Amino acid sequence: MGQTVSDAARAAMPPVAIGRKRMSRDRKVGLLLLLPLVVLVLGLTVYPILQVILLAFQQQGLYSQESTFVGLDNFGSVVGHEGFGRSVKNTFVFTFGSLFLQMAMGLPIALLLNKSFPLRAPIRGVMLFSYLVPYVVAAMTWKFMFSDATGILNYWVRALDMPIPASPFGSLDWAMAGVILVNSWKNFPFMVIVFLAQLQTIDRQLYEAASVDGATVWQKFYRITLPSLLPIMLVVGMLRTIWNFNNFEVVFLLTQGGPIGRTETLPLYIYRFVFGEFSLGRGAALAVIVFFILLIMSVIYWRLYERAQERFK
Amino acid sequence: MTPQAPFASKKMPVLVLSPRARRAAAKRRFEQFLLMLCALAVLMIVLLPLFWMLASSFKPNVELFQRPPTILTQNPTFEHYVELWEFTSFPRYFLNTFLVAGISCLAGVVISLITVYSITRFEFIAARIFAFGILFIYMLPPILLALPFFRIWYDLQMLNSLWALGITYLTITLPFSLWILRPYIEAIPRALEEAAMIDGCTRFQAFRKVIVPQAWPGIVASFVFTFVVVWNELLYSLVLISDETKRTVSLGIASLILETSVYSWGLVNAAGVLATVPVLFLFAFAARQMASGLGAGAVKG
């Protein structure tokens, strides 16, 4: 309806005459409207980032007002610290272990939910539940299921004499597997949503043509589905790599980095430095290092993405 | 129903099918039934832990320690919920979280709305790059921002302030709302507004009467989305809040898990259920908007 009114109005009077004059005043209004965002981004992102970079070069206690410039000392001392190598290794194991499990769960489930069957819509909706619940709930329920006196999985592991510890979060060898499992349970639906969205864009005629040419199911998957998914797999792969890398909640709530540091990832390591040892400067130096690791990984993903785009377009 | 499955379509008159086609239809339906069973089985991965939390929250304490564990209790009790409501600060935590999430999400949506409007209508190229570059804020390690935020609010003597927490959450809600709202507002034909303005509306009236109603699904979607994210957030509240009365729900449950003895698992489960309910309720309420918002964001964002 609005469109017809506008067309009539356009026919009635030439738009140029009113357009010009309003434009210049309007542009000022437009700039004014951008102001809140600019102020907030400067105050809430640019300033904090500058501050964290400054802090990284200063010796600064968490609550103290004094700070002294120490150059690269903070970087030297955190990298030299015995826990650094361990938490870098833990972070990579956690990040890519989770990524692998999330992909391994997300892709087949997306392929399944892309078929048509009764109750598909509600099943797709409910599949998101674990992604929607708070991290504290995800961590709490798994911790509860594996808890010693009350856990149902704890009981079954013992009853069926399974070759895994009944309380994996307290086990030296299995704690990492446990936190990866919970992180993947929490986040795999994200993969499912994105893959499903992409699967729906694939032209059905491709599959029909392939069937006519006698392609097997596996060939169709390998030649049509997988190449169509590859670019988006790299994009979500990058997003989830970053998010897994930055994840603090899962490990903090389940193991607090223990037992004896076996699951301490970099965000927890930073947290411990700052709020356990009250060294804001060293924590900031670590945070800057984390930022650069993420930046390098993002660039690598971006290169791979461009290559995938070129190859399959 | 997919187009390549005409036999399964209910609109097809079954009587005209040949026996062979009918057998094919029956086979197809059987296959679909099997697929549904598979999907339901997979769904259990998601549902069982949550179901277990729900079932356990109604169990009397004695039964929580029973071995082998009972699946569903014979004597359901609300004692854990009553205890949570009467003897802990959780009602306060819920109020706190609603306030903080409400403020930061509302502010995030309003600011995003006028920003996206300004960018799409006035075409400032630099602003466009700037505004959508801030999506990268979302990629920054939260711990990286948590450190300076702690220091900033400490210097301003605003640690333990829910306002400070709400403002900090804008770093989450703003990029998200911008990202979700953009396709909705870009899709509104400019002719609609021009028509309203030619008919005598001021720009603000045109914005209120044309843009806001047209973008309403997007506004709802971004509010719901950011609300869920803030509701679930833990790190900033952990860092900025130490006062027991200012905790958010996530922080309250985290403290229960980290400080609790095994004897209060019923209480923890009840808290978990109550923390999950608003999220699922909002999701159900806005499922359609969220689905289309996600799709639109994914395609155009």
CATH of the domain at B255: 1.10.3720.10
Q: Are residues B149 and B212 in the same domain?
A: yes
- Span B202-216, mean pLDDT? 83
pLDDT at B12: 52
Residue B66 domain-assigned (yes or no): no
Handedness of CA A45, A48, A54, A57 (dihedral sign): negative
Mean pLDDT, residues B17-35: 86
* Mean predicted confidence (pLDDT) in A137-166: 86
Smallest Cα–Cα separation from B177: which of B234, B117, B125, B248? B117
* B45 in any annotated domain: yes
Sequence spans of domains, chain A:
82-312
Per CB-CB distance under 8 Å, the chain A contacts of B195 are 2-3, 5-6, 9
Which class is domain A82-312?
Answer: mainly alpha
Domain assignment present for residue B247? The answer is yes
B168 in the same domain as B232: yes
Average pLDDT, chain A: 84
The predicted pLDDT at position B14 comes to: 53
Give CB contacts under 8 A, 24+ apart, made by B19-25: none
pLDDT at B288 over 80: no
Of B49, B50, B235, the CB nearest to A248: B235
Query: Which pLDDT does position A109 carry in this prediction?
Result: 93
| pLDDT value, residue A3 | 45
Q: Is B214 part of any domain?
A: yes
Q: Do A34 and B127 touch (CB under 8 A)?
A: yes
Question: Under an 8 A CB cutoff, do A142 and B269 touch?
Answer: no
Mean pLDDT of A39-54: 88
Same domain, residue pair B250 and B119: yes
CB-based contact B54:B273 (threshold 8 Å): yes
The answer on B139 and B51 residing in a single domain is no
Q: What percent of chain B has pLDDT over 70?
A: 85
DSSP letter (8 states) at residue A279: B
By C-alpha distance, which of B162, B284, B291, B289 is closest to B230? B162
With 50 as the cut, is the pLDDT of residue B294 above it? no
Which pLDDT tens digit goes with each residue over A226-235? 888 888 888 8
Both B276 and B148 in a single domain? yes
Same domain, B45 and B183: no
Lowest mean pLDDT segment, chosen from A101-110, B69-78, B124-133: B124-133
What's the gap in Å between the CA of B237 and the closest CA on chain A?
A: 12
CA separation for the pair B184, A64 (Å, rounded): 48
User: Is residue B148 domain-shared with residue B195, that is, in the same domain?
Assistant: yes
Q: How many CB pairs under 8 A join A and B?
A: 276
B157-175 burial, b if ≥16 CB within 10 A, otherwise e? eebbbbebbbbbbbbbbbb
Question: Are B47 and B189 contained in the same domain?
Answer: no
Describe chain A by its helix, strand, coil percentages, rounded to 5.
75, 5, 20
Looking at the structure of chain B, the number of domains it has is 2
* Cα of A110 to nearest chain B Cα, Å: 10
Q: pLDDT value at position B108? A: 93
The answer, for B129 touching chain A at a CB cutoff of 8 Å, is no
Contacts of A270 in chain B (CB under 8 A): 143, 147
Whole-number average pLDDT of chain B: 82
What is the model's pLDDT at position A172? 86
Is B199 close to A5, i.e. CB distance below 8 A?
yes
The mean per-residue pLDDT over the stretch B151-155 comes to: 89
Beta bridge mates, B50? none
Asked whether the beta carbons of residue B49 and residue A142 sit closer than 8 angstroms, the reply is yes
Q: What is the pLDDT of residue B16?
A: 67
The sign one gets for the Cα dihedral A213, A214, A220, A223 is negative
Q: What is the pLDDT of residue B291?
A: 53
Residue B231 has pLDDT above 70, yes or no: yes
The answer to whether the Cβ–Cβ distance between A133 and B250 falls below 8 Å is no
Closest listed residue to residue A51, CA positions, set B266, B144, B72, B82: B144
pLDDT bin (cut points 50, 70, 90) of residue B263 is low
Residues in CB range of A8: below 8 A, 6 or more apart: none
Q: What is the pLDDT of residue A4?
A: 46
Domain that holds residue B24: 6-57
Q: What is the pLDDT of residue A88?
A: 93
Interface probe with B: pick from A117, A235, A275, A288, most Cβ of B within 10 Å: A117
B58, burial (CB in 10 Å: exposed 0-12, middle 13-18, buried 19+): buried
Same domain, B113 and B154: yes
pLDDT (0 to 100) of residue B295: 42
Give pLDDT, residue A156.
87
Q: Do B97 and B177 share a structural domain?
A: yes
Assess B124–A contact: CB distance below 8 Å, yes or no: yes
Choose, out of A1, A3, A5, A6, the residue to mutate when testing the contact with B (most B CBs < 10 Å): A6
Residue of B217, B216, B223, B233 lying closest to B105 (CA atoms): B223
CB–CB contact A129 B269 (8 Å)? no
Average pLDDT of span A50-71 = 82
**Per-residue pLDDT for B68 more than 50?**
yes
Single pTM value for the model: 0.84
Residue B17 inside a domain? The answer is yes
A262, A176 in Cβ contact below 8 A?
A: yes
Check whether B42 has a pLDDT greater than 70.
Answer: yes
My answer on whether B51 and B93 are in the same domain is: no
Q: Which of B3-7, B274-278, B283-287 has the lowest mean pLDDT?
A: B3-7
**For residue B98, with 0-12 CB atoms within 10 Å meaning exposed, 13-18 middle and 19 or more buried, which class applies?**
middle
Chain A contacts of B115, Cβ < 8 Å? 33-34, 36-37
Residue B19 Cα, gap to closest chain A Cα (Å): 23
Mean pLDDT, residues B273-301:
67
Q: Residue A254 pLDDT > 70, yes or no? A: yes
**Amino acid A16: pLDDT:** 46
Taking residues A134-147, what's their average pLDDT?
Answer: 91
Same domain, B129 and B190: yes
Does a structural domain hold residue B228?
yes
